[in-house]
Amino acid sequence: MYKISFSLLVIAFSLTVNSCFAQQTQVTKDTSSEENQLLNSLLGTWEIDLRPSPEAASYLKEFTIYKYEEGILSVSFYDTPFKDGRINTAWGKVQFAFTTADNSGTYYHSGYLENNKLFGNSFSPARGFIMPWSGVKKK
């Protein structure tokens, strides 16, 4: 089941139809210096490990967070932007969520930044799975 679900998650990430043209990393919202520091630490390119189980070999894919503007997070994966990306810094750390979709339905993704590492989960009600993932910023 994990191998099938994992493959479907990868397909879901790659099926978002818009092209990603924005290359400039920026925070454009008027924020406090603490919030700016949190947001700037999130922006950039991350290597996300999408392995289907703890025993599986790493399966790394780039995850680029290139823009934040008025609560909306712009993210690309497989060179394709996600839809409905949102961010919250009210709890003292960066938390985010976004959706993707394929023919089976909507996939819900959320994550947070802690100790210079991203942690998240992806959930597909239609496929009946949840997959935790993690990542580190590329140098």
Question: Domains in the chain, please, with CATH?
Answer: 2-137 (2.40.128.120)
pTM: 0.70
CB contact at 8 A, 28 and 40? no
In this predicted model, what pLDDT tens digit does every residue of 63-72 receive, in sequence order?
888 777 777 7
In this predicted model, what pLDDT tens digit does every residue of 51-103 receive, in sequence order?
989 999 999 988 888 777 777 767 766 455 677 788 888 887 889 888 887 78
